[in-house]
Amino acid sequence: MKRIEKVVLNPELKKRNRQLMWRQIRNDKLLYLMLFPVILWYLIFCYLPMGGLSLAFKTFRYDTGIWFSPWNGIGHFKEMFSDDLFWRALKNTLVFAGGKLLFLFPIPIILATILNELRSNKLRRIYQTILTFPHFITWVVLSGILISFFSSNGVVNGILSIFNMPAITPLSTVQYFRPFIWLSFLWKELGWDTIIYLAAFAGIDPGLYEAASIDGANRFQKMIHISWPGIRGTVCIMLILAAGSLMTSGASFDQVFNLYSQPVYEVADTIDTYVYRASFGMGMNLGYTTAISFLKSVINIILIVIANKIVTKMGEPGLY
Amino acid sequence: MKEKSMKKKKQGAFDIIIVVILTIMALITLFPLYYVLIVSVSDPESIANHVPYLWPHVFDFESYKVVFTEGKFVKSFMNSVFVTVVGTLVNMTLSVFGAYALSKKKLVGRRFFLTLIIFTMLFSGGMIPFYLIVNSLKLNNTLWSMILPCAINTFYLIIMKNYFMSIPESLEDAARIDGANNIQILLQVVLPISMPFIATFMLFYSVERWNEWWNALLFINESDYQPLQIYMREILVNFNNQLSPQAQAVVGQGQRANFQAIQMATIVVSTLPILCVYPFVQKHFVKGMLVGSVKE
């Protein structure tokens, strides 16, 4: 369409195009009717809050609300620089998310490779079913289980005491808290994160394996030269998604929020948990806490753009 | 000949190692959940002895009786059922309509709408503006605060759109020639052939609604409107720090049964619905994700 318009600048044709467009719109009026509530929802629940980010530059007052609170310029951002708790939260967020990316990203790929090597489809389905199940339980419930298990008189310490080992309480010990978060995250999400790679393995042309077998390749050679290159694109996409969500899901808010407590704030408090407590517990100005999460969103979108650029440079199709 | 049999043996060993590793992982995954079940049906005495055990010495279902007669539990359970049923209905209606409309390539403005939608996956207003906007819509302390603000999952919407695009246009053309309009085509032609796919997303959404706790935490502070997840948070997570009123109520009522058994019984009862739909979800999610990931 676009190309035709560029070549033929005939006003008559342009007019006809416009008429065609309006006819198409009239034809599709029911589709617009279906789309209307959806777009309305996005405007109210996504775009209005985005507009509400203007609060980051205002001093919030309950009597005037978001839109009519007095402007404050970049006052909140200046305030942030001297807020130790903010820096602590930023650091913790980066450590949680960075550690997750570094330690946990390769593990689902390894598990998928192992599952893929299983000869029996039935067994594979059984293992997959078991390993994926915790994904569907909330962190509220899982935290309850973990807290009870790792409490000073819980099961874990019961088992340890049988072997005369000292009791551990990772949930209230500063040096154990982070590894505990990573490990328990792995426990919940490993199976789920494996699915996408298993699907990618399943998409590899079986003819490649047959050809390799005829050439005398053994199992490991096939794994290294066919299976892994076959899922390269998927791995890249997952890597951008992981890097792009470093500041959001990477910081695993649900998990930390339900597991942390006063004694470990020092290593556990992330930006989101800090924003929550500062807004609803510590009674800080909502303009200030909005400014914090605004900064977070900006860092996040920069990360997405960078990650996407790297992947497209590597010759893989990016996100946009 | 000899070489061949040796190779086979080596592969056999490798297979065994794989099965051992996977079995250990499966046990690690299952043990905590199994233990929850065991504790929930144990008598207080064996729990109090703190000895880890794999089978209850004495079966005791007292804790379940306490859970089911606790008024707050029943109330929050019913709230969660309402949110799940109505919420899933709202989710599906909006998602199916939106996805179907956006799957039509000829739709004028389609690019614009898609960009508008996808952008929200990259950038959001964040917690506080969202909280203030939903509050200003007077949704706080109503069950609707757990339904309307999460009426659409953008990720699911995009997958569903891609799925509808994969349905051949020719299927709809016959109906169109007969004079059917877009809504009739969607309801009478497209949906009937998409039932397994639609059902998968219905299950996804319903699990999501059942597990909803964050919006409830933000918007609901009257216990009458609490969903199950918040009730669980009160008796499981907050209990760790201090006895919450909810937890105290349970402790008061459960004279005989141990509080831990009650906690675990609550977990079992609240997870049971998920366990029931899980086999169906599991059967379809890979397929659902695969169809959806086909790029246009």
Which of A138, A171, A189 should be substituted to probe chain B, the one whose Cβ sees the most B Cβ atoms within 10 Å? A138
Q: Quickly list DSSP for B112-172.
A: HHHHHHHHHHH----HHHHHHHHHHTT-TTSGGGGTSTTS--HHHHHHHHHHHHHS-HHHH
Question: Are B160 and B292 a contacting pair, CB within 8 Å?
Answer: yes
For the segment A17-46, what is each residue's pLDDT rounded down to a tens digit?
A: 888 888 888 888 899 999 999 999 999 999
Q: What per-residue confidence (pLDDT) applies to A179?
A: 94
From chain A residues 227-256, the ones with a CB under 8 A of any chain B CB are 244, 254
Mean pLDDT, rounded, for A222-247: 84
Distance from CA of B237 to the nearest CA of A (A): 5
Task: Please tell me which residue, B192 or A158, carries the higher pLDDT value.
Answer: B192
Q: Does residue A293 carry a pLDDT above 80?
A: yes
Higher pLDDT, A320 or B180: B180
Of B22, B129, B260, the CB nearest to A66: B129
Would you list the domain boundaries of chain A? 2-51, 79-313
Give yes or no for A272 touching B (CB within 8 A): yes
User: pTM (2 decimals)?
Assistant: 0.86
pLDDT computed for residue B98 by the predictor: 96
CATH of domain A79-313: 1.10.3720.10
Q: What is the per-residue pLDDT for A120?
A: 84
Check residue B19 and give its pLDDT: 92
Q: Which of residues 213-232 of B touch A (CB under 8 A)?
A: 213-214, 229, 232
* A chain contacts of residue B134, beta-carbon cutoff 8 Å: 45
Mean pLDDT of A116-135: 89
Give the pLDDT mean for A78-91.
Answer: 92
Divide the 296 residues of chain B into consecutive groups of 10 and give the mean pLDDT of each group.
Answer: 46 85 94 89 73 74 86 92 96 96 91 93 88 93 94 91 87 86 90 86 92 93 91 80 52 56 90 87 66 45
CATH topology assigned to domain B62-292: MetI-like fold (1.10.3720)
What is the rounded distance in angstroms from the CA atom of residue B119 to the CA atom of residue B125? Answer: 12
Contacts of A64 in chain B (CB under 8 A): none
| Residues in A 63-122 with any Cβ partner in B closer than 8 A | 65-66, 111, 114-115, 117-119
Which residues of chain A have a CB within 8 Å of the CB of B116? 39, 42
Q: Which residue has the higher pLDDT, A201 or A241?
A: A201
Which parts of chain A fold into alpha helices (H)?
2-7, 11-27, 29-42, 48-51, 65-68, 75-81, 84-99, 106-117, 121-132, 139-149, 155-162, 174-202, 206-214, 219-222, 228-230, 232-244, 253-259, 265-268, 271-280, 286-313
The answer to whether residues B59 and B261 touch, using CB atoms and an 8 Å cutoff, is no
What residues of chain B lie within 8 A of the CB of A159, using their CB? 52
B276 touches chain A (CB under 8 A): no
The predicted pLDDT at position A40 comes to 97
Q: Do B236 and A115 make contact, defined as CB atoms within 8 angstroms?
A: no
What value of ipTM does the predicted structure carry?
0.86
Q: What is the pLDDT of residue B139?
A: 92
How far is Cα A172 from Cα A182, in angstroms, rounded to an integer?
A: 15
pLDDT at res. B240:
54
Looking at chain A, which residue has its C-alpha nearest residue B137? A44
pLDDT tens-digit map of A185-206: 999 999 988 988 988 888 888 8
Long-range contacts of B36-45 (CB under 8 A, 24+ apart): B36/A145, B36/B264, B36/B267, B36/B268, B37/B264, B37/B268, B39/B260, B39/B261, B39/B264, B40/B64, B40/B261, B40/B264, B40/B265, B40/B267, B40/B268, B41/B261, B41/B265, B42/B261, B44/B256, B44/B257, B44/B258, B44/B261
Phi/psi for A284 (5° steps) reads -75, 160
| pLDDT at residue B49 in the model | 67
* pLDDT at residue number B283: 72
